[in-house]
Structure 1
Amino acid sequence: MRSSWKTRMSFLFLSLSVVLYTQAVKNKSKNSDVGGCFCKLNEQVDDCACQIESLDQLNNKQIHPPLQSLLAKDYFRYFKVNLKKQCPFWPDDSRCALKDCHVSACSEGQVPDGIKAEIHEKNKYSKEAQEEKSQTCQEERELSALDTTISKASQEAFKNWTDYDDSQENFCEIDDDTSADSQYVDLLLNPERYTGYKGASTHRIWRSIYDENCFKPEKGIAYGKQRSLAGLCLEKRAFYRLISGLHTSINIHLCAQYLLPSKTMLGSKTWGPNLEEFKSRFDPKLTNGHGPQRLKNLYFAYLVELRALAKAAPYLEQEDFFTGNDEEDRDVKQGIKNLLSFIKSFPHHFDESKLFQGNPKEAHILKEEFKNHFRNISRIMDCVGCDKCKLWGKLQVQGMGTALKILFSGDGMGPDSTVTNQHKKSFQLRRTEIVSLFNAFGRLSKSIQTIELFREQS
């Protein structure tokens, strides 16, 4: 009897040991797989003289904390967007009915008075407006015999001319702020996260972006397959890495803010990081080896937008960031100057002067092709069937387009070139461009910071 008892205990002990060993092997394998996601993040950013490790240090310690604080301020949290624009490429037949796809627009009274364009102009430029009004009255007295009316046809023509002039320097289409369908959205109340929007509709969006608007060295490369950049010029490689980096950033946000099941039977679901979802998108074993390069492309996109902020620093440092709240406006203005000082001090910025060089005629054609491809992508954002996904897609594409506008404007191109607000006719940013620029960069910054979270979980 005693012998039988010892035998059973030995068997149980052996079984437990096998279970523990098997679990340890699984955990080691799991950690190894996740670690494989980051295998390219100890290298240099492609086509740049910058180590990824240095960007991690800059972002996570110096840029991300103050940037997130700024983005919570009124000036940056309210974004005017038209979510009702029709898709220009195919019928909008895939609207998302999930509750998490919904966007709550602001009521008229929720938006600070200073942010509304007409009140902003009245307050911010009251002295100039009075001087202009006085001058206008004097001119009317002197020229009262003249017919100063303008026909509706002429007004429409002027608008078309303005739209055309604006489009020449813009890399993306920007919603008309005066449209009745444009509404202010509080970005803090409508965070970017996993909504359940997936399937054929999302695949069509990204397939159209990659297969129809990204440059590729050969025909027949399908969306989701390995895309070799060999043989592509620097500009076309840069375009692909920008889009891939943006796509990666969006995927990281969805993995970091995933709807998790309740831990108890009576508990509610919560939003949080989903390691398995992260692995499914970036593990080399689950992505045919593509995942690590996708993560690496995130740093390329980050470096490009970082350079745009550095180049536009003289312009942005002169902005009032006006909302009507004097104390907060002063804090934001000082916070922007502090943030830009960190950004300007970074020694390894992206060098845009290397792009569109060579034969001037060929460079001009390539630049227009580059610009038209990006504009198409901004239009594709209106085809997204989930309003929340559309909101953040439009904002991030517009922010990246604003960064490109900055890079190819100003007193030249290269590490020392800048854009200023001294010559408004040659360069100017609308409020919606500034808001999208900082929020888009904030999304990239958050993605890089989130990578550390998944590293720790692994």
Structure 2
Amino acid sequence: MSAMTALFLYFTTLLDQPRSYEHKGNIEPSDIEIERIYKENKNINSLLKSLMTTKFFRNFRTNPSRKCEFSISNQKCKNGQCPVYEDEAMNVTTIRTYIVNRTLDPKMQEFTSHIPVEEYTDQSDGWTVDEHLEKEGLYIDLQKNPERYTGFNDTKIWNEIESQSLNKLNFTTSGPHRDLLPRVISGIHTSSDMHISQFFLEDISVRESFTTVDFTANYEQFHERVGKYPDKIKDLFYTSLLFIDALSHIRENLPHYIYYSDDESKNMRIQNRMQWFSHYVSKVADPDKIQSGLFKKVTKEELIQSVKPAFRSVSELVNCIECDVCKLNTRVQFVGVAAMFKILLTEKDKEVILSENELVAFINTIFRLSNSIKFYKEALDHEASEAFIKMMMYIIILSFAGLFFFLAIIAFCCSSPPKKDEERVPLRMQDAIAAEVISRQL
């Protein structure tokens, strides 16, 4: 093989692949292949997308006014403000893209009144602060407050959350159990960065308009935030598996849950979707494999004693996020994580009781993780497509260069050869004769 051919093949291989880390093979610690996740995730994502638009799953009760109790130097939005801004003139609420839209349609308001606050029972079991009974608590429509780019710099607060998720643990032994909380927090952070990259705002000057803003995928943001970090991508899939595992524990109950107490037909539609959802989840769940690694050196009770206070502590750091819509979406996912832990760490012979808020957050978090996996695959395909285009351009350039080189060789070979010395002898003889004639004349 010539050096030119070897060089050509090397650059072809180098160009024909995505820039970002591509997770291949099995998702540790399970035996589930990535391709299997991609395949089933299409069905799961499509089904969950339809569920997220229902009144039950789009309403989340929270207290947006909870204050930060930690001395953290918070980051600001790029335009310097992230507070709630509402203009009640003419009963029209003006919403900016980076704040919480608190408006509820009349039908949504009616729906959220089906569980009076005074009849609510705290089911959080100490994993998080339940905000149902707080006076400032209110229902927020999650569909009106999607997770996307706001311009808010969350680096400092997430660094603190991830650092505390490790430092707050009191395990004396190493192993998968010690990595449980830090990897889950990392997975949620990665999912959040995925959504920011998927719904990115290129023109920051138009952020004041909620209706005309065009959010688009930014694959460069994806690469810089997530794609070039293998551990983040692995943690995303690991967290997704834990949620699927937790869901497999309660999947038989989901089709029997009462989602609409006042509308039997709507209630049955959601129950039927949950039946299909449970079916798809069963194809990728691998609880024995995942849990066998977690509980090799510690019991569930020991995990609870260490992970619960650590997670509750770091979840309070969410209140230090000064962008309201960012805080809302992070809180939804942290309540979802709390529900996941509660399900996974409850003994099989005990009943798992989730509040309505926990169930809403749990399913919403699974949907967001599913979205992130879907976008990850799209981003890799996009990078591979760009790499293929670059490779083809490289081949074309090399082809033209080779053609030019070939034509140059032909031109050189076919040109007239220079006259030989013997062909010039007569000229030298003429010069000698002329010189002799001149000398005789002299």
Do both share a fold (TM > 0.5)? yes
Matched-pair contact (CA < 8 Å) for 2:177–2:298: no
* CA spacing shift, 1:26–1:385, aligned 2, 3 Å: farther
Cross-structure match for 2:427: none
* Equivalent position amino acid for 1:101 in 2: Y
User: In the aligned structure 1, how far is the partner of 2:313 from the partner of 2:359?
Assistant: 21
Aligned to 2:217: 273
- Within 2, Cα distance between the matches of 1:26 and 1:183? 58
Measure the CA separation in 1 of the matches of 2:227 and 2:109. Answer: 44
Deviations 1:333-384 (A, max 9, x none): 1111111122124353453354345466xx7445311111111222111111
Aligned equivalents of 2:258, 2:117: Cα separation in 1: 11
Find the counterpart in structure 1 of residue 21 from structure 2: 38
Aligned to 1:406: 343
Amino acid at match of 1:46: E
Residue of structure 1 equivalent to 2:311: 374
Call closer, same or farther: CA 1:365–1:320 in 2, change over 3 Å.
closer
| Residue aligning to 1:193 | 148
Native 8 Å contact 1:74 1:112 kept in 2: no
Taking the aligned partners of 1:26 and 1:86, their CA distance within structure 2 comes to 55
1:27 and 1:100 map into 2 onto residues whose CA distance is 43
**Counterpart in the other structure of 1:303:** 241
Change (3 A) 1:120 1:365: closer
Check 1:189–1:347 CA distance in 2 against 1; reply closer, same or farther (3 A cut).
Answer: closer
Q: CA deviation at 1:251?
A: 0.4
Q: How does 1:117-196 map to 2 (within 5 A)?
A: 117-118=114-115, 169-175=125-131, 177-196=132-151
Displacement of 1:241 in angstroms is 1.8
Match of 1:389 in 2: 326
Partner of 1:352: 291
Matched, 1:83 2:64: yes
Deviation string, structure 1 residues 307-327 (Cα, Å, up to 9, x no partner)? 111101233232111263332
Cα distance 1:93–1:274, how it changes in 2: closer, same or farther (>3 A)? closer
Structure 1 contact 115–323 (Cα < 8 Å) conserved? no
What is the match of residue 105 of structure 1?
A: 102
2:74 corresponds to 1:74: no
Distance in 1 between the 2:11 and 2:99 partners?
39
**Does 2:189 align with 1:247?**
yes
Provide the C-alpha distance between the structure 1 equivalents of 2:15 and 2:71, rounded to a whole number of angstroms. 42
Aligned equivalents of 1:457 and 1:44: distance in 2?
23
Partner Cα separation in structure 1 for residue 371 and residue 112 of structure 2 = 25
Looking at structure 2, the residues matched to 253 and 439 of structure 1 have their Cα atoms a distance apart, in angstroms, of 13
Whether 1:322 aligns to 2:277 is: no
Distance 1:434 1:344, change over 3 A: same
The answer to whether residue 38 in structure 2 is matched with residue 56 in structure 1 is yes
TM-aligned CA distance change 1:384 to 1:27, over 3 Å: farther
Query: In 2, are the aligned partners of 1:120 and 1:322 still within 8 Å (CA)?
Result: no
Equivalent residues of 2:68, 2:317 under 8 A apart: yes
- Structure 2 residue identity aligned to 1:237: D
Cα distance 1:211–1:121, how it changes in 2: closer, same or farther (>3 A)?
closer
- Pair 1:30–1:206, CA change in 2 (3 A): farther
User: How far apart are 1:109 and its partner, in Å?
Assistant: 3.0
Q: Is the 8 A contact 1:111 1:184 kept in 2?
A: no
Shift of 1:391: 0.6
The aligned residue for residue 422 of structure 2 is: none
1:407 is displaced (CA, Å) by: 0.9
Contact 2:199–2:217 (Cα < 8 Å) also in 1:
yes
Q: Matched residues in 1 for 2:263 and 2:73: separation? A: 41
CA distance in 2, matches of 1:69, 1:183: 24
How big is the shift at 1:455? Answer: 2.0
Q: Choose which of 115, 124, 139 in structure 1 pairs with 2:112.
A: 115
Distance in 2 between residues matched to 1:279 and 1:359, nearest whole Å: 37
In the other structure, the counterpart of 1:448 is 373
Paired residue type of 2:353: Q
SS of the equivalent of 1:111 reads helix
Task: State the 1:248 CA deviation.
Answer: 0.8
Matched residue count: 347
Mapped to 2, the partners of 1:238 and 1:346 lie a distance apart of 20
1:113·1:323 contact (CA, 8 Å) conserved in 2?
Answer: no
TM-superposed CA distance for 1:93, in Å, is 5.9
Taking only aligned residues, the RMSD between alpha carbons, in angstroms, comes to 3.1
Query: In structure 2, how many angstroms separate the alpha carbons of the residues matched to 1:293 and 1:93?
Result: 26
Cα distance in 1 between the residues matched to 2:370 and 2:298: 36
> Structure 1 27/83 Cα, relative in aligned 2: closer, same or farther at 3 Å?
farther
- Contact residue 79 and residue 187 of structure 1 kept, 8 A: yes
Q: Is there any run of 5+ residues in structure 1 with no aligned partner, and where?
A: 1-24, 123-158, 218-230, 263-267, 285-290, 413-418, 420-425
Distance, in Å, in 1 between the alignment partners of 2:164 and 2:113 is 37
Q: CA deviation at 1:110?
A: 4.6
Give the distance between the partners of 1:440 and 1:68, measured in 2 at CA: 12
